[in-house]
Amino acid sequence: MQSFISYGIVSLLCVVPFFTSDTPARKSKANSQPTAAEAKAFVDSAEAKLLELWTKWSRASWVQSTYITDDTEALSADAQREVTAATVAFAKAAARFDGLKLPYDTERKLKLLKLSLSLPAPSNAKEQTELTQISVSLESDYGKGKFYPDGPQGKAIDLTEASRTLATSRNPDTLLMMWKGWHSVSPQMRERYTRLAELSNKGAKELGFPDLGAMWRSNYDMKPEEFSAEVERLWQQVKPLYEALHAHVRAALVKQYGEKLVPKDGKIPAHLLGNMWAQSWGNIYPLVAPPTGDPGYDLTQVLQSKKVNEIEMVKFGERFFTSLGFDPLPETFWTRSMFTKPADRDVVCHASAWSIDSKHDLRIKMCIEINDEDFSTIHHELGHNYYQRAYNQQPPLYMNSANDGFHEALGDAVALSVTPEYLQQIGLINSVPDASGDLGLLMKLALDKVAFLPFGLLIDQWRWKVFSGEIKPEDYNKTWWELREKYQGVSAPLLRTEKDFDPGAKYHVPASVPYTRYFLSTILQFQFHRALCKEAGVKGPLHRASVYDNKKAGEKLQKMMAMGVSRPWPEALEALTGEKQMDATAIIDYFAPLKKWLDEQNKNRKVGY
């Protein structure tokens, strides 16, 4: 699922190395009229050195994420600084070829080169060093984050334990303590994040963009303002479904906690939704379940009763992909990945997928829990890995997904095939329950996918406004909660001030990972699923359709993935779905039975917040 996935290592794929004295582009600098041949030589030179420099950074980042110490932070910062300085130098040099009539590949690679870093550093060496140190320290602070509810001498609680308590407890005081505790980790990030925004904005402006937000939005084969409008169009398509779910959940929470804690017609306090960021609500399913919604099994209970371990959880995901015709994962995947949280050191548990050498050294990094949530997360992460492998024959600057939402959507689209029929096929359940329990399955998934949509949207809405200057540092927290109330209809559970920095309590903010990709992923995965089911000739409702063991669907998927980012994303979308526009009607179709039921329940309730 989106909420636990880091796209970070994938976004490192499009980076470039330092110039060398014999770089063709450097030799031609004196020439006032560059040629297409010189542009191609420039790109070829960058790509020839790309993998070496990227691999160095990947290895340093892996060690820093799986063994957090001052030394590994310094090593990662050094490697990142090299990449950042080189990328900025190449991106600025690429501007020399602006306006020149170029072959398609050369022109596209030059564009990708300019957009290749999430945090473009200024050309000033001192500021480059400062930015990389800030970036690494923020991510490490998040990974090491702990709080002490009983005081400094008491037990330390980290995010994993706090999240587990939020998922299982129904005591509002306990929930508030965990929420407040984790959000006490991030205020120390505030000053550094302000400086990070200043420096990365300066780097983006040196590359010719108004600000970093505009640079991020330029990475979608359309103008920044067109992309903003596209995101809003998609949100309007799904907003009625979200609001119907919100109204039903709010009513259930009023029943559970009373109107003193949950306003009958207002916003839901964020700590009551079973998740640290109220971004997915599946953990409160028992409180909101349809009366006839029992699917006949509990996947978490099934996995635990069968004593499935962490490795076998990953094996289930691998077998799904091999059933589509893909090769098994390399042996090194099993020896080099991190599947469990080590007992002897701090690590970044946030799940992520890695291609260390852009070829065959594939890995995932997770602190796997034996539950249905991580069962889906594993499918998602392996989706990254199989995508990385599919495009590894492309030139380095094309080794990425069609757009970043595609990478996130792929594994989740496969996870939509984890239906009762599939679970029966692989022996996890003995029989397929009848359709009477489908409302329960749909509700569970909606609490994950539909509930996530506004959160997937608002994080970058906040950052885009921070980068543009519309949100000033003195209003960081105020506007964060304004956006959460506007889009999610959730409220802070206790008084927040500008001494707090609640955006920093979400990994993707201190790690500077663009987040709109997760919103797009949620839309695209249902569009992918609908198209793959059609290709496979699967009949019946979308929520019961599975493409497991269908080689025809696998071939269609492989064709799209192998394109990488060599073509504009509408062409890749068309290769898989036959459509050139992202379309949220697939998610509306998928949840149609649930939406009908929700509307019936909400007849005498206020819908909206």
To the query of whether residue 148 is one of the catalytic residues in this protein, the response is: no
DSSP string covering 259-303 = TTTS-TTSPEEGGGSSSTTSS--GGGHHHH--TT---S--HHHHH
Domain count, the chain: 1
When pLDDT is averaged across residues 32-41 and rounded to a whole number, the result is 91
Mean pLDDT of 109-126: 88
pLDDT tens sequence across 490-501? 999 999 999 999
Count, residues in the chain: 609
Measured in degrees and rounded to the nearest 5, phi and psi for residue 17 equal -90, 175
| The pLDDT of residue 5 is above 90 | no
Residue-level pLDDT at 184 = 97
pLDDT of 26 over the 80 cut = no
What pLDDT is attached to residue 477? 98
What pLDDT is attached to residue 13? Answer: 33
Identified catalytic residue from 47, 130, 373, 408: 408
pLDDT of the residue at 343:
92
pLDDT higher than threshold 50 for residue 19: no
Is residue 14 pLDDT above 70, yes or no? Answer: no
Token duo for residue 287 = 């409180």
Does pLDDT of 82 surpass 90? no
pLDDT of 11: 39
pLDDT band, residue 413 (cuts 50/70/90)? very high
Q: Please identify which of the residues 38, 73, 373, 381 carries the catalytic annotation.
A: 381
Using DSSP's 3-state secondary structure scheme, residue 601 falls into: helix
| Residue of 51, 47, 126, 52 lying closest to 85 (CA atoms) | 126
Residue 109 lies in a domain: yes
**How much of the chain, in percent, has pLDDT values that exceed 90?**
79
Question: Is the distance from CB of 367 to CB of 22 less than 8 angstroms?
Answer: no
Tell how strand 5-6 and strand 351-355 pair up: parallel
Query: 407 an active-site residue?
Result: no
pLDDT for residue 142 is more than 70: yes
Question: Which phi and psi angles does 530 have, rounded to 5°?
Answer: -60, -45
Average pLDDT, integer, range 296-322: 95
What mean pLDDT is predicted for residues 120-125?
A: 89
Q: Is the pLDDT of residue 220 over 60?
A: yes
Q: Which one of 246, 380, 407, 529 is the catalytic residue?
A: 380
* 588 assigned to some structural domain: no
Identify the sign of the CA torsion 472, 474, 477, 478: negative
pLDDT score at 295: 78
Question: What is the mean predicted confidence (pLDDT) over 194-213?
Answer: 95
Residue 134 lies inside a defined structural domain of this protein: yes
Domain presence at residue 287: no
pLDDT for residue 110 is more than 60 = yes
Determine, yes or no, domain membership for 196.
no
User: Can you tell me the distance from the alpha carbon of 331 to that of 360, in angstroms, rounded to the nearest whole number?
Assistant: 10
d(C-alpha 187, C-alpha 199), whole Å: 20
H or E, element range at 351: strand 351-355
Within 10 Å of residue 155's Cβ, how many Cβ atoms?
Answer: 10
Residue pLDDT, tens place only, 100-109: 999 999 999 9
Residue 1 confidence class, pLDDT cut points 50, 70, 90: very low
- Write down the pLDDT at residue 372: 87
Which range of residues forms the domain containing residue 109?
7-141
Please give the structure tokens belonging to residue 518: 């997760």
- Would you report the helix, strand and coil content of the chain in percent, each value rounded to 5? 60, 5, 35
pTM: 0.85
- Mean pLDDT estimate for the chain: 91
pLDDT at 30: 46
Amino acid at site 321 = F
Higher pLDDT, 284 or 51: 284
Average pLDDT over residues 120-130: 91
Q: What value does the mean pLDDT take over residues 120-147? A: 92
Per-residue confidence (pLDDT) for residue 463, from 0 to 100: 98
CA–CA separation, 307 and 466 (whole Å): 47
β-sheet with 351-355: strand ranges across = 5-6, 351-355, 362-365
280-283-289-295 Cα dihedral, nearest 10 degrees: 100
Q: d(Cα 41, Cα 50) in Å, to the nearest integer?
A: 14
Can 529 be counted among the known catalytic residues? no
408 is catalytic: yes
Three-state DSSP state, 538: coil
Q: Which of 183, 246, 350, 529 is catalytic?
A: 350
Catalytic residue from among 271, 384, 407, 543? 384
Mean pLDDT of the 123-151 span: 93
381 carries an active-site annotation: yes
Could you tell me if residue 198 is inside a domain?
no
> Is the per-residue pLDDT at 294 higher than 60?
yes
Compute CA distances 20 → 49, 50, 505, whole Å.
10, 13, 41
Tell me: pLDDT of 130 over 90.
Answer: yes
Tens digits of per-residue pLDDT, 245-284? 999 999 999 999 999 999 999 999 999 999 999 999 999 9
- 10 pLDDT band, cuts 50/70/90, is very low
Q: Are 337 and 363 in contact (CB under 8 A)?
A: yes
In order of 21, 96, 314, 320, 442, the CA distances from 376 in angstroms are 49, 46, 10, 12, 15
Angle between helices 569-577 and 516-536 (to 10 degrees): 30
Residue 311's nearest CA partner among 295, 328, 326, 333 is 333
The answer to whether 317 touches 346, Cβ cutoff 8 Å, is no
Question: Could you tell me whether strands 146-147 and 157-158 are parallel, antiparallel, or unpaired per DSSP bridges?
Answer: antiparallel
- Tokens at 349, concatenated: 């548990």
Q: What is the pLDDT of residue 24?
A: 39
pLDDT of 530:
97
Choice between 268 and 420, residue whose per-residue pLDDT is larger: 268
What is residue 558's predicted lDDT score, i.e. its pLDDT? 96
pLDDT at 61: 94
Instruction: Give residues with Cβ within 8 angstroms of 57, minimum separation 6.
Output: 12, 15, 76, 79, 80, 82, 83
Residue 464 has pLDDT above 90, yes or no: yes
Asked if residues 411 and 351 have their Cβ atoms less than 8 Å apart, the reply is: no
Higher pLDDT, 25 or 261: 261
Region 582-591: mean pLDDT is 96
Find the catalytic residue in 248, 271, 379, 508.
Answer: 508
Q: 76 with 136: CB under 8 angstroms?
A: yes
Q: Is residue 162 part of a domain?
A: no
3-state secondary structure of 181: helix
Structure-token match 């548990």, residue found: 349
Average pLDDT, integer, range 583-589: 96
Set 351, 511, 575, 584: catalytic member = 351
Cross-strand pairs, 362: 355
188 vs 434, more confident? 188
| Long-range contacts from 556-561, C-beta under 8 angstroms, 24+ separation | 556/531, 556/532, 557/324, 557/410, 557/532, 558/325, 558/326, 558/390, 560/402, 561/386, 561/387, 561/390, 561/391, 561/401, 561/410
DSSP state of 533: H
Query: Is pLDDT larger for residue 47 or for residue 44?
Result: 44
Identify the pLDDT of residue 29: 47
Whether the predicted pLDDT of 338 surpasses 50: yes
**pLDDT at residue 465 is higher than 80:** yes
37 within some domain: yes
Catalytic residue flag (residue 379): no
Measured CA to CA, the distance from residue 516 to residue 457 in angstroms comes to 6
d(CA 188, CA 173): 25
